[in-house]
Amino acid sequence: MSFFEGIKELTNDCKLLNILLYTALSIGIFKITTFSLSFSSLIFDIFLKPSINYKKYGAVKSTKGDGKGGAKWAVVTGASDGIGKEYAKQLASKGFNILLISRTQSKLEILSEEISSEFKVETKTLAIDFSTDKPSNYELISQFTKNLPITILINNVGQSHSIPVPFLQTQDEELRNIITINNISTLKTTQIIAPIIQNTIKSSKGIRGLILTMGSFGGLLPTPYLATYSGSKAFLQNWSSALSGELKNEGIDVELIISYLVTSSMSKIKYSSATIPNPKQFVKSVLSSVGSRSGAQERYATSTPYWTHALMHFGIENTVGIYSKFANGLNFNMHKSIRIRALKKQARLEAEAKKQ
């Protein structure tokens, strides 16, 4: 090879190296820019964005739910305790009449009286055990709601495992109840209520409908020892996002709400902290941020509204990754430890009961 040929080859190599360097630099700049924009959107959504005005969904201070000028109705499933109870109370405070659906009639009656007395709105109750999956359940919902001007549906009813459990040891009844309550009842209830919302907003110009469905970090992250529950909530993610695409142009906003732990009978956590809000705090964050993705920056029609949950979601997504081996292993070890402690407590209680 002559001297000049060597120089030419070296020059070509330098050009290729420059192309690679500029390509890497461009990708780096793009990644930094998109990350910065996403993080800025996160901060704006959870700390700076103004709360929405629920007049867009038909909230008025008149409780005459006549389908025209009066207050519209919100349907809340799993309404008698915890998060569902707070959804009912906070929507009532905004000027909606409330249909409470849950399993225990006595609890529903107490809550109904409390809401109607405090917020001066109309309330109705419907006691249904969704785990039975009887056709009569949905016939009853259909008959009960057909003449109500409904604009909001809160799909809150849900069930998890009693304690973390390996999938192969999951009892058949628990497995079926989780899928039936979390998935089948949510889909069938939505099939009944969504057309009513469509008719209501058609007869009341200028308002929209709203369907919120409760998701979970258990569905966001594949969760060993909660496999059935995790799968049921992951199913709701795709279903809800797909439904949002279908109903957006129909005037109905559809969102999946993702939460980490909240103090409730389901989580069995009694005391709140920075990362574990009580139901009142959590629902306030949900209702003030409808239409914002907050921590769910990468997901359509999805929100992780509570501020610490939002930061956790964003952090996991942008570091180890939702579906990473590391995240899966961390979840495995955490829930295995919870299971061991729960079994020890259960054995202790059984031993104490035998002594008595």
Q: In this predicted model, what pLDDT tens digit does every residue of 240-263 receive, in sequence order?
A: 999 999 999 999 999 999 999 999
Cross-strand partners of 155: 213
Please check if 216 is assigned to a binding site: yes
Clarify whether 229 is annotated catalytic: yes
Helix (H, G, I), strand (E, B) or coil at 106: helix
- Token pair for residue 312? 């956790």
- DSSP-derived letter for residue 183 is I
pLDDT band (50, 70, 90) for residue 163? very high
**Domain ranges within the chain, ordered by starting residue:** 53-339
Kindly state the DSSP code that residue 56 receives in the 8-state scheme: G
The pLDDT tens digits of the residues spanning 186-211 come to: 999 999 999 999 999 999 889 999 99
- Please, which pLDDT band fits residue 11 given cuts at 50, 70 and 90? low
d(CA 236, CA 215): 7
pLDDT interval class at 66 (50, 70, 90): very low
Catalytic residue among 229, 260, 271, 306: 229
Alpha carbon distance 109, 93 (integer Å): 18
Topology at the third CATH level for domain 53-339: Rossmann fold (3.40.50)
Q: How far apart are CA 28 and CA 15, in angstroms?
A: 20
What percent of the chain lies above the pLDDT cut of 70?
A: 94
